Structure 1
Amino acid sequence: MNRGSPSTDYTMCSNCQKLLRKGKEKSRVLQSTRGPSAFIPEKELIQADVVADCSSLLVEEFCTSGRLDNITQVMSLHPQYLESFIRTQFYMLRMDGPLPLHYRHYIAIMASARHQCSYLINMHVDGFLKTGGIAEWLNGLDYIPQRLRNLNEINKLLAHRPWLIRKEHIQELVKTGENNWSLAELVHAMVLLAHYHALASFVFGSGINPEQDPETSNGFRPELISNFCDCDLTNDNNIKNTSLLRSNFQLDDSLSELENLMERMKRLQEDREDEETSQEEMLTRFEKEKKESLLVISGDFDDEVVSRSNISRYIEDPGFGYKDFARRGEEHLPTFRAQDYSWEDHGFSLVNSLYSDIGHLLDEKFRMVYNLTYNTMATHEDVDTTMLRRALFNYVHCMFGIRYDDYDYGEVNQLLEQSLKVYIKTVTCYPERATKRMYDSYWRQFKHSEKVHVNLLLMEARMQAELLYALRAITRHLT
């Protein structure tokens, strides 16, 4: 399907480039004692030249502060994706849309709080106040309009168990009354919620450090700063079983982890060409992979209650979290079959009709990250990584109960080692539990830029999964 894109002009002038160069230099000075990421050496990020490849949107984003935030610096390892990300986020937060500007930032705060992501909460406390938000609302959910509070249920379901969203949730929000939402407003809100749930996964999965710019402090920030994500300080001792952090593939003495993976990719490609797997076998392999995901344990955690007062004020029902889609001993939940409701054939057109142009921007971003490749794997060049990228994306959807009829889920078990599965499940479902040990435990011979690409894939796969469940519920409401 050949889709156009919004008509906004994103060209970049020489003055913009100069401004961005100054901004990046200031960023380096500000981060001299602590880099943008607790997981990635700062020297790896300095090599990424974001200036030449990014649009004038970056200028508008950062000219007021004169610096690039830590998320941007880490994402700048992939400039093509970064531009698509910035363009989409800028549109959601700043361009014409159904919701007032201060609502957008408050919804971002509510979404980020579901994963205790102080980094994003702080960012949008600033944005909320700068767009005319009422400071009293920052005291918590008890101080906001009932209309906004009504989003709590859809927020927690989208964040943790999107498969539970029903058309009745939509009907409750759009029913006639003084606190009702129009469908257009609700779609805008859902896109924001899904975006910031997924972005929290990227923040924790990439070890994004707190911003260290005293110029951006305000009356609300000092209380929040002490509880930033502190990914590098996350308690690694809570890993329940360190054996889960080892590969479940026995490496031959003569093969490295990398060469072993490449060999499996080659063998899978040959098997795919030699024989065609039946639909029955494909379904069996999906069900097997879905059940095996239950055994992937991210750590020794109980369902913790958020005790931090500065975050808990933005959360209703803090004990509600992710539960495996295929939990044992429970009534079987129906699988979400992608051929019945897909982003390409259903979600895109619905979201675009209710919130003009956002469908084009989201579609571009999904396609960008899914197709992004440099044809390399660690030290190897001229490598087709399509199979690996698809396995990562589809494994996330599998954990959310989404199945693709044309995909052989046996490939997931062959390509994703156990330590990587632990990392994926943690970053996607419980991102606040991510640790540097988890990040370091998989693909030890790969570059940090390749691991950041993994995080981008996980983020976008998660966002798309949330949107598919939400948009399907809206479709059922409309029909």
Structure 2
Amino acid sequence: IASHVSSMYRSVMMVNGEKERVSLLFTKSLVSTGSVDAVSQQMASHPQYLESFLRTQHYILHMDGPLPLPYRHYIAIMAAARHHCNYLVYLHSAQFLRVGGDPLWLHGLEAAPPRLRLLDHINKVLAHQPWLTACSHIQTLLKSGEQYWSLAELVQAVVILAHCHSLCSFVFGCGTKSDLVPLSKSPNGTPPTFCHFDAANGNTNVPQSPITPSEHITRRRVMDQTRLYLSDSCRVKCSMFFFFEKMPCLPLFVCIFIEEVICFADPTRFITEPDFCYQEFARREEDHFQVFRVQDYSWEDHGFSLVNRLYSDIGHLLDDRFRSVTTLPSLHSPDLKRAIWNYIHCVLGIRYDDYDYGEVNQLLERDLKLYIKAVACFPDATKTPVCPLSMAPLKSSERIYVNLLIMEARLQAELLYALRAITQYMIA
């Protein structure tokens, strides 16, 4: 009996510890951004990973770096627009304005400075067919002149692009099944239907009348009503927060009131060649796309050191994300995790010579493979076909975990292609 009671006590303490960790992370988010966004709420079932994710995201978007803050959020808009991810486009449009970005840039890509427009091609390629990323693309961006990029600036831009592309996969992967149904384009360039994450952030009332892409309104509203299990040590007294006293056995409710800029930037105005999308990695004789072999260029031996040297500390933060997601406690076996990771890399043209790909078909059911490929390769609200996820027996946290694996595997794949091209440029 004593042993059983001790085991139960340890379990309770572990659960309370996880809640404490999540509440602390949410409190930090409230203080720094004024809200707990829908992405963080979805990831909260895996606090160890959430901490690593938020640390990386905060670093690339807000901390010291070669790119000015408005550039960072505009690059994020460009990346999210490739997948018509309204949630991220609107989120970064508002943040772009908050950090002093020029509202005219939100009229579309043609209104942005030439330096940002130069990123359009590598943004398009990394988002849809990363194996096309070439040394020549890097060379074009790094030509001398005021409108061109320094190597440090380009590396930060590439990290933001890859981060947002992969985050689009998570946003659509964690939405309802209806999010995978093609959304009809609204007439006159008005925004398409909001995805699941928009509703989670309170953006459920979208004007259906035509609206200027750069038009925005400012209004005071409740940004979020989030159930947080905040301990006394985590409570933060701040003018923007209104804490309701916690009742016995009930969670603390937090209402955040802020002056929010609502910006309805149309994603289609930030992309060129809208028909350019994912295609099966070519294996036919008439095509000359070479398989990316990890034995020749890997994250551990090549990518990590390069990105960390050109963009201080980001390599450690990214590496922590990759390690966190693969070591999280999960119902999935290590073999299944590896099968998911390697399958995503395979459909993006990356192969491991020491892996038996027969395990992919043995461990992944057909519906799961279809889902993984859809979320990893074309998480686009306007193009993604209906693709059911036969994971009903799994808990919500386990389904979210699969989407975390998809996101991180895709992120690493894009970074490998981009960093290899940069390496080829540097040694050419």
1:27-48 Cα shifts (integer Å, max 9, x gaps) = xxxxxxxxxxxxxxxxxxxx99
Q: How many residues align?
A: 339
Q: Distance in 2 between matches of 1:91 and 1:154?
A: 22
Task: Determine which of 313, 326, 346 is the counterpart of 1:370.
Answer: 326
Match in the other structure for 2:287: 331
1:411-437 Cα shifts (integer Å, max 9, x gaps) = 001011110111011101111259896
Does residue 191 of structure 1 match 2:191? no
Q: Distance in 2 between matches of 1:309 and 1:121?
A: 7
Residues 38 and 197 in structure 2, CA contact (< 8 A), matched pair in contact too: yes
Q: Distance in 1 between matches of 2:22 and 2:149?
A: 36
Residues 55 and 83 in structure 1, CA contact (< 8 A), matched pair in contact too: no
Match in the other structure for 1:145: 113
Match in the other structure for 1:209: 197
Does residue 322 of structure 1 match 2:256? no
Task: Give SS of 2:270's match.
Answer: coil
- Is the alpha carbon distance of 1:216 and 1:194 closer, same or farther for their aligned partners in structure 2, counting shifts above 3 Å? farther
Q: Distance in 2 between matches of 1:100 and 1:51?
A: 35
Q: Distance in 2 between matches of 1:364 and 1:151?
A: 27
Q: Distance in 2 between matches of 1:360 and 1:396?
A: 23
Q: Distance in 1 between matches of 2:265 and 2:131?
A: 29
Match in the other structure for 1:256: none
Structure 1: unaligned runs, 5 residues or longer: 1-46, 223-307, 378-384
Match of 2:197, as an amino acid?
A: N
- Is the alpha carbon distance of 1:309 and 1:332 closer, same or farther for their aligned partners in structure 2, counting shifts above 3 Å? same
Q: Distance in 1 between matches of 2:307 and 2:110?
A: 31
- TM-score by length of structure 1 reads 0.66
Residues 347 and 468 in structure 1, CA contact (< 8 A), matched pair in contact too: yes
- Aligned-residue CA RMSD (Å): 2.7
Match in the other structure for 2:387: 438
Match in the other structure for 1:108: 76
Q: Distance in 2 between matches of 1:212 and 1:361?
A: 27
Measured after TM superposition, the shift of residue 55 of structure 1 is: 8.2
Match in the other structure for 1:170: 138
More strand by share: 2
Does residue 451 of structure 1 match 2:399? yes
Match in the other structure for 1:156: 124
Does residue 464 of structure 1 match 2:412? yes
- Is the alpha carbon distance of 1:57 and 1:91 closer, same or farther for their aligned partners in structure 2, counting shifts above 3 Å? farther
1:384-430 Cα shifts (integer Å, max 9, x gaps) = x1000000000000001111121111100101111011101110111
Q: Distance in 2 between matches of 1:330 and 1:48?
A: 59
Measured after TM superposition, the shift of residue 215 of structure 1 is: 12
Task: Give SS of 1:445's match.
Answer: coil
Residues 352 and 359 in structure 1, CA contact (< 8 A), matched pair in contact too: yes
- Is the alpha carbon distance of 1:201 and 1:221 closer, same or farther for their aligned partners in structure 2, counting shifts above 3 Å? farther
- Is the alpha carbon distance of 1:100 and 1:193 closer, same or farther for their aligned partners in structure 2, counting shifts above 3 Å? same
- Is the alpha carbon distance of 1:104 and 1:56 closer, same or farther for their aligned partners in structure 2, counting shifts above 3 Å? farther
Identity of aligned residues (%): 55
1:305-336 Cα shifts (integer Å, max 9, x gaps) = xxx98111111111111111135574142111
Q: Distance in 2 between matches of 1:88 and 1:64?
A: 14
- TM-score by length of structure 2 reads 0.74
Task: Determine which of 52, 56, 61 is the counterpart of 1:84.
Answer: 52
Task: Give SS of 2:21's match.
Answer: coil
Q: What is the 5 A alignment of 1:232-311?
A: 310-311=266-267
Q: Distance in 1 between matches of 2:204 and 2:33?
A: 8
Match of 1:455, as an amino acid?
A: N
Match of 2:343, as an amino acid?
A: Y
1:434-462 Cα shifts (integer Å, max 9, x gaps) = 989635x3233221211110100000000
Does residue 401 of structure 1 match 2:349? yes
